[in-house]
Amino acid sequence: MNSPVVLAKSVAVTALGSDLEGLWQGLLAGRSGIAALDRFACDNYISDLGGCIAGLAATSDSLFQALLGRVAAQLGPLPRDCRLLVASTKGEVDLLQQHRGELRPELLFENLLATIAARLGLADRGMNINAACASSTVAVARGAALIASGQAEAVLVFAADVLSEFVFSGFSALQALSAQPCRPFDRQRNGLNLGEAGVALLLLSEERARREALPPLATVSGWGVANDAFHVTAPARDGRGLIRACQQALQQAELHPEQIAAVNAHGTATVYNDAMELTAFATVFNGRIPPLHGIKGSIGHCLGAAGGVEIAIGARSLREQRIPGTVGCETPEELAGDAVSSSTQVIAGDYLLCSNSGFGGINGVVILGRGAL
Amino acid sequence: MKAWLNGIGWQTPAGPGPSGSDLVQPLIGGRLEIPTRKQIFASADKRFGRLDDFSRVGLAAAAFCLRDAGAEEYQETRSIGIVAASRYGCLATDVAYLETMLVDGGKLASPNLFAYTLANSFLGEVALRFGLGGNSLVINQQDSSRLAAVHFALEELAPSGQSGMLAGICDLPGPDPADSNDKPGAVFLLLAKEPGATKCYGCLETTPTGLSLAGERVSSLAQLLERCLTQQA
């Protein structure tokens, strides 16, 4: 029998605010933190838009360190025996550009992990998980599995990626950026906007949560991870990997698809990703996709941190029984039916499914349950 | 936690392996040869020319491991995952990409190189060639034993629906050519819930005193490979 897993704390810093409350209120109000970038010159790129965190570039350390500081300041004390799982695709990549490609020790994740552990007051230096844009979802799945199997009582997932010229130029070169505010699941979508975020999620066993007197924000009821085994940068159009990841998560949670009240989708606003997701969800939910939303029209695509932010928002959505509208989605794809809306939707039920997919063909899914165990 | 060790494979300064190897173990210092397509695959491979060096080395080790296990061929996508530990990740590719980006204000940034500036991209290359549909991730952590991915796979296999995991390491040479501790290359082990029909090096198990293979304690990846090669000889 697996031990129940509780989401006990969540903190997020995004382009829509310095905390999770600001993000939630911003999402409900349909606001967008995507704006013209002034962090670097965009003259030679196909877009100049991104979701930057206000004031982050003004600090002297790397952007990542500044983000870590902002998250740590809100997190409060953590159990000392927490295992640490970091989820970042590029860590302090801005330093690589600052030093024009010079390989400095701080560029190694093992050194960055020591800094993160020290800043968060944890004994475990942990590991970084790199599963592209599904990194934090995979990290939450891993943390939940460790707790459920009794291998850990407490796991902190810290996920962060910054909006760097390194990554921005790459997505521009791949022609994956939109020159306009992105439009997830819209018929006219034409690419993504990049964002940045720092997020921390504290996972505890049910017993440990009681001992720590931390009421559950949500339970982590199921998880699944699967590879498309199809292409390195393009999703499998039939959604095969995402379908398998959803089915694993449902099986783990011992749920039927109709028990899922809502979906927080990856929704990058690229043509192929969003079509793949809708195809997969139509299969998983037998043609009746539950209310579905995506938040990348509001904060941009936060890469390895995307899933962490979305899980934090998913927990809040379940608690309040509503999902924010999908900013930028004016005319939803036909396959979405009436599942997607630009307005807040009321939901009814106890479970919400979060999904992310990324380069390398990876797909990660986490099913959250309402807070009470 | 335990799993059967059904295959081993590597591309290191000792060369490709394990076929015909009379090595003690392959994790040694020296020059790492980047394998060509013909050294890995007998038939044409359209995408191989696009791969960065990090991916070529990792793909070679994974291919040799599956070959050793008799698990190279497949009909349908398999529930096998991949976890690779890496110290430097794709840092060399990052630098190569950055050089294209810094020219002319980003106008010449290489989309092909950018696709490999994620350390897990090469796992996608492995997955699509061998139909591996399980979890796939790169982990970074301080680990002198180089067994981090093996521990990860053992922890992950038992409670998951995956039938096996390729677990190993992948690193190009570090930035300091004088570093005698730098032992670059890639090694993969095929860990499975069932013993292999073609080959099996024994049961790998996490015990209260550490990792053991066929009941004998192993404290590093080098020692684990040495045991496998001794057994094979």
Q: Which of B88, B91, B114 sits opposite A173 (nearest CB)?
A: B114
Q: What percent of chain A stands above pLDDT 70? A: 98
- Report whether pLDDT(A373) > 60: no
- Report whether pLDDT(A57) > 80: no
- Report whether pLDDT(A166) > 60: yes
Contact yes or no for A96 and B104 at CB 8 A: no
CB A226 within 8 A of CB A248: yes
Average pLDDT over residues A36-58: 94
Most A CBs within 10 Å, among B117, B137, B150, B169, to test the A interface: B137
Q: Give me the pLDDT at residue A99, please.
A: 86
A85 Cα distance to chain centroid: 14
Reference A172, options A52, A274, A45, A294; nearest CA is A45
Q: Give me the pLDDT at residue A103, please.
A: 79
Per-residue pLDDT tens over the stretch B166-199: 999 999 998 887 888 889 999 999 999 999 999 9
Confidence of residue B21 (pLDDT cuts 50, 70, 90): low
Average pLDDT over residues A72-88: 96
Average pLDDT, rounded, for chain A: 95
Please check whether residue A142 touches B, CB under 8 A.
Answer: yes
Average pLDDT over residues A14-35: 98
Cβ within 8 Å of residue B153, ≥6 positions away: B3, B81, B83, B165, B167, B191
Q: Could you tell me the pTM of the whole model?
A: 0.97
Give the number of other Cβ atoms within 10 Å of residue A288's Cβ. Answer: 12
Q: Give me the pLDDT at residue A105, please.
A: 76
Please check whether residue A123 touches B, CB under 8 A.
Answer: no
List chain B residues with CB under 8 Å of A108: 87-88, 140
- Beta bridge partners of residue B217, listed in sequence order: B212
Q: Give me the pLDDT at residue A371, please.
A: 75
- Beta bridge partners of residue A160, listed in sequence order: A198
Contact yes or no for B141 and A43 at CB 8 A: no
Average pLDDT over residues A334-345: 96
Tokens of B92: 């060399």
Per-residue pLDDT tens over the stretch B141-166: 999 999 999 999 999 998 888 999 99
CA angle A86, A88, A90 (to 5 degrees): 145
Reference A351, options A231, A223, A243, A239; nearest CA is A223
Tokens of A327: 């900013």
Q: Give me the pLDDT at residue B29, please.
A: 93
**How far off is chain A from B22, nearest CA to CA, in Å?**
34
Peptide bond into A332 cis (omega under 30): no
Q: How far apart are CA B93 and CA B91, in angstroms?
A: 5
Of A277-281, A369-373, B24-28, give the lowest mean pLDDT range.
Answer: A369-373
Average pLDDT over residues A31-51: 97
Average pLDDT over residues B128-147: 96
Per-residue pLDDT tens over the stretch B210-227: 999 999 999 999 999 999
List chain A residues with CB under 8 Å of B140: 108-110, 113, 127-128, 130
**DSSP characters over A94-138:** HHHHHTTT---GGGSHHHHHHHHHHHHT-S---EEEEBTBTHHHH
Q: How far apart are CA B232 and CA B226, in angstroms?
A: 10
A364 Cα distance to chain centroid: 10
Q: How far apart are CA A225 and CA A245, in angstroms?
A: 5
Q: Give me the pLDDT at residue A61, please.
A: 80
Average pLDDT over residues A207-227: 96
Q: Give me the pLDDT at residue B19, please.
A: 78
Contact yes or no for B97 and A166 at CB 8 A: yes
- Burial call A122-145: b when 16+ CB within 10 Å, e when fewer: bebbbbbbbbbbbbbbbbbbbbbb
Q: Give me the pLDDT at residue B46, please.
A: 85
Contact yes or no for A130 and B139 at CB 8 A: yes
